[in-house]
């Protein structure tokens, strides 16, 4: 069978290109998300009494990084946690649980991180997990020089801010690994190949043009209440089953929606 060119303007109307379209959006989404998360950080800092700064830690390409911070001290606090591999923001971002440190003087967890935090003058920390599609993607971190800065009401406010950030993240593609990108490309190309081959089968069976064959394939998918991808595989599978028997020249058209 000779290679086919898909009908202009038609292939993009069906779901097979979703993976490739998402790839195009990744970088733009990251820039938009960063701007949105900076706004969340600013609002959190302003709304939380006793907060001396806030930041957002996000997982990107399998690594935690600060994508928004209200000041250098806060950015340094996050960096100290990444450097030591321990701290409330890492715990919240990876385990998906709220972490509250009322007083670093009474805190025994994260022994390598605590001295660095004290050196920066921080005494209490509240890290709220950011969740999207049921999994932790990062954390909203709030720091204070005061002991006991974030009591019950402040934690409620922080939870609201974290929810806003989580909702924003859930609508964007920002945690995409190279393996996931490769998988999306591979899947999209496989679907395109299946649809192209199926169109060629319909052309051969019915003696129609590529445009008409594509339309018939699409109509068949609608009739069977299935996706274009599934209908393409159905056509190819039926062709493989019929191939050994062949088809007599005087047989009529074999195209059906079944």
How big is the chain by its Cα radius of gyration, in Å? 27
At 122 the three-state DSSP class reads coil
- So what's the pLDDT on residue 231? 87
For 83-237, strand residue ranges (E) read 99-101, 124-132, 135-144
* Domain span(s) for CATH 1.10.10.10 in the chain: 177-242
Pick the CATH number of 177-242 from 1.10.10.10, 1.20.1600.10, 3.40.50.12780, 3.20.20.70: 1.10.10.10
Tell me which H or E stretch contains 162. Answer: helix 152-170
Report d(CA 88, CA 72) in Å as an integer. 18
Residue with the bigger pLDDT between 18 and 224: it is 224
Q: How does pLDDT run across 150-175, given as a tens digit for each residue?
A: 988 889 889 989 998 888 887 665 55
Q: Rounded to an integer, what is the distance from CA 71 to the centroid of its chain?
A: 28
Region 200-222 average pLDDT: 87
Indicate the DSSP class of residue 123: -
Residue 247 pLDDT level (bands cut at 50, 70, 90):
very low
Q: How does pLDDT run across 34-82, given as a tens digit for each residue?
A: 788 888 899 888 888 889 999 999 987 788 999 999 999 999 999 999 9
* Domain span(s) for CATH 3.30.450.40 in the chain: 24-170
Mention every residue, 6+ apart, whose C-beta is less than 8 A from residue 168.
Answer: 33, 36, 37, 40
Tell me which H or E stretch contains 36. Answer: helix 18-47
Region 188-196 average pLDDT: 78
Report d(CA 215, CA 209) in Å as an integer. 10
Q: Does domain 24-170 have CATH number 3.40.50.2300?
A: no
17-21, 49-53, 66-70, 117-121: range with lowest mean pLDDT: 17-21
Region 233-251 average pLDDT: 64
Name the token pair of 90.
Answer: 């890492």
């Amino acid at each position: 069978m000779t290679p086919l060119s898909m009908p202009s303007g038609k292939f993009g109307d069906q779901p097979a290109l979703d993976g490739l379209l998402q790839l195009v959006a990744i970088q733009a989404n990251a820039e938009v998300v960063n701007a949105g998360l900076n706004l969340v950080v600013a609002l959190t800092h302003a709304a939380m009494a006793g907060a001396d700064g806030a930041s957002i830690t996000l997982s990107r390409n399998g690594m935690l990084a600060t994508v928004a911070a209200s000041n250098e001290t806060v950015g340094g606090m996050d960096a100290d946690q990444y450097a030591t591999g321990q701290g409330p923001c890492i715990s919240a971002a990876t385990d998906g649980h709220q972490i509250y440190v009322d007083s670093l003087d009474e805190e025994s967890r994260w022994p390598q991180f605590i001295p660095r935090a004290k050196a920066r003058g921080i005494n209490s920390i509240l890290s709220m997990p950011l969740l999207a599609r049921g999994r932790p993607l990062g954390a909203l971190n709030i720091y204070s020089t005061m002991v006991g800065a974030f009591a019950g009401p402040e934690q409620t406010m922080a939870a609201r801010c974290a929810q806003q950030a989580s909702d924003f993240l859930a609508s964007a593609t920002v945690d995409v690994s190279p393996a996931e990108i490769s998988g999306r490309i591979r899947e999209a190309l496989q679907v395109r190949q299946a649809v192209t081959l199926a169109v060629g089968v319909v052309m051969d069976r019915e003696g129609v043009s590529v445009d008409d064959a594509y339309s018939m394939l699409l109509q068949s998918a609608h009739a069977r209440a299935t996706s274009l991808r599934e209908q393409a595989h159905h056509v190819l599978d039926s062709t493989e089953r019929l191939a050994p028997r062949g088809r007599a020249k005087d047989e009529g058209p074999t195209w059906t929606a079944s």
